[in-house]
């Protein structure tokens, strides 16, 4: 048994010292539950009283030697692996770097940010509303009951019978009025949806910027003043504004607003399609029924509102004549602006 133990020690240490990778298999082979040394120790029951402590001591010595060899070789292998990885994974920090492609602000985002900034400078604050809106806020409270023809124009994506993807940012007017007492001076930029087929001037999703002012004694003069000033700041100090009578359920009276073409100054060019003017928004004096739906007494307060097409403004700013180009997200195209 003694010579068997000696042999195990010699074999194990030789194997350990020759190992190139993991030592775990060798450890299991000798010291594991079913290992060679363990097998010998199990057989010690058959030894005499005198022999047992002697063989036991040798077995312990063999175990210690194997463990020590494992430890020493383990440390060596670790060092070797580190040296190898330092060579293999060498990083050349002087190598020419590939420049990361920096992002680019989208023309719609840029227009939205600029528009928002101008109104904030005029004392407006920003209000938000959800894109999934109630049918009531989107239509009924805005003076467009179930049989109103404007509902057909704004046919959209219904979530349930009573909720939909909002067709306009105007429902934020209702939310703002219900949540505030006048004076109210808010804008609300955001996405709106209509079941339109995409073409050069239509998209099933687009952006609007809503505006609402409610206070005592607000008149059409305030509306004209604010929007004319906005147009001058946005498109240049020479910009003229034209108010054309129109019909919206939310307002009475209503006006569509055109700005003089900032490319030709009103003479007519390719950008304004020879008109000299470009339409950018709908507006008017808030209808008394809409004030009432917002919990505001129309005998005390009046207000004006407007809804601006953000894509329109972005296209005018950037001289883009097809709306689809803004949504195709071809970086080569968008990088120009
Ligand atoms: N919500 C209208 C639309 O999408 C635009 C509009 C017109 C908004 C007049 C207004 C307004 O606030 O006063 O067609």
**Largest Cα span, the chain:** 121
Find out whether 15 and 35 touch, Cβ atoms under 8 Å. no
- Quick one: pLDDT at residue 124? 98
Residue 240, pLDDT score:
95
What number does the ligand 1 atom closest to the CA of 286 have? 13
* CA atoms lying within 13 Å on the CB side of residue 18: 7
Class of the domain covering 107-334: alpha beta
Q: From the CB of 307, is ligand 1 less than 6 Å away? A: yes
Q: Is the CB of 250 under 6 A from ligand 1?
A: yes
Residue carrying the six token digits 């080569």: 332
Cβ of 248 less than 6 Å from ligand 1: yes
Judge if the beta carbon of residue 301 lies within 6 A of ligand 1. no
Does residue 306's CB lie within 6 angstroms of at least one atom of ligand 1?
A: yes
Distance from the alpha carbon of residue 40 to the mean position of ligand 1, in angstroms: 94
- Residue in 196, 306, 308 to alter for ligand 1 test, most ligand atoms within 8 A of Cβ: 306
Ligand 1 contact, 305 CB (< 6 A): yes
Q: Measured in angstroms, how far is the CA atom of residue 99 from the centroid of ligand 1?
A: 45
How far is ligand 1, taken at its centre, from the CA of residue 111, in Å?
19
Our mutation pick for probing the ligand 1 site, out of 190, 248, 257, 280, counting the most ligand atoms within 8 A of Cβ, is 248
* Phi, psi for 300 (deg, rounded to 5): -105, -40
pLDDT averaged per 10 residues, the chain (length 337):
84 86 86 84 82 86 88 89 87 82 87 97 97 97 92 87 97 97 97 92 94 98 98 94 96 96 85 89 98 98 97 87 89 86
What's the 283 CA to ligand 1 centre distance in angstroms?
6
Q: Which atom of ligand 1 is nearest to the CA of 212?
A: 12
Helices (H), 19-106: 24-31, 36-42, 51-88
Burial of 37 (0-12, 13-18, 19+ CB in 10 A): buried
Q: Whose CA is nearest to atom 12 of ligand 1?
A: 306
142's tokens: 């805005």
pTM above 0.85, yes or no: no
Residue 304 CA: which ligand 1 atom is closest?
13
Structure tokens at 284: 């008017």
Find residue 165's DSSP bridge partners.
132
Long-range contacts of 194-201 (CB under 8 A, 24+ apart): 194/154, 194/155, 194/156, 194/167, 195/155, 195/156, 195/157, 198/323, 198/324, 198/327, 199/323, 199/324, 200/321, 200/322, 200/323, 200/324, 201/323
Q: How much is the pLDDT for 96?
A: 81
Q: Is the separation of the CB atoms in 195 and 296 below 8 Å?
A: no
- Mutation pick for ligand 1 pocket among 119, 143, 170 (CB with most ligand atoms within 8 Å): 170
- Listed in order, strand segments (DSSP E) in 194-265 are 205-215, 241-246, 251-260
Ligand 1 centroid vs 15 CA: distance in angstroms? 86
């Amino acid at each position: 048994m003694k010579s068997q133990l000696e042999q195990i020690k010699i074999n194990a240490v030789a194997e350990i010292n020759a190992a190139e990778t993991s030592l775990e298999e060798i450890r299991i082979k000798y010291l594991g539950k079913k290992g060679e040394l363990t097998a010998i120790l199990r057989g010690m029951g058959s030894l005499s009283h005198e022999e047992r402590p002697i063989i036991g001591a040798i077995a312990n010595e063999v175990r210690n030697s194997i463990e020590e060899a494992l430890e020493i070789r383990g440390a060596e292998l670790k060092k070797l692996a580190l040296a190898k990885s330092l060579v293999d994974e060498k990083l050349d920090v002087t190598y020419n770097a590939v420049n990361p492609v920096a992002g680019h602000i989208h023309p719609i985002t840029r227009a939205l940010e600029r528009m928002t900034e101008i109104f904030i400078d005029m004392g407006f604050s920003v209000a938000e509303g959800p894109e999934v809106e109630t049918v009531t806020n989107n239509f009924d409270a805005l003076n467009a009951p179930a049989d109103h023809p404007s509902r057909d124009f704004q046919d959209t994506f219904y979530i349930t019978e009573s909720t939909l993807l909002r067709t306009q940012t105007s429902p934020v007017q209702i939310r703002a009025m219900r949540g505030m007492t006048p004076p109210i001076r808010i804008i609300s930029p955001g996405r709106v949806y209509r079941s339109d087929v995409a073409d050069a001037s239509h998209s099933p999703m687009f952006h609007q910027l809503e505006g609402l002012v409610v206070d005592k004694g607000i008149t059409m003069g305030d509306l004209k003043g604010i929007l004319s000033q906005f147009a001058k700041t946005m498109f240049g100090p020479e910009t003229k504004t034209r108010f054309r009578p129109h019909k919206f359920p939310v307002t009475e009276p209503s006006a569509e607003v055109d700005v003089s073409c900032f490319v030709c100054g009103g003479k007519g060019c390719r950008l304004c399609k020879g008109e000299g003017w470009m339409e950018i928004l709908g507006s008017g004096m808030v209808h008394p029924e809409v004030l009432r739906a917002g919990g505001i007494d129309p005998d005390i307060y009046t207000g004006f509102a407007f809804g601006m097409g953000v894509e329109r403004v972005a296209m005018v700013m950037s001289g883009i004549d097809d709306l689809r180009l803004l949504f195709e997200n071809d970086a080569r195209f968008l990088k120009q602006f």
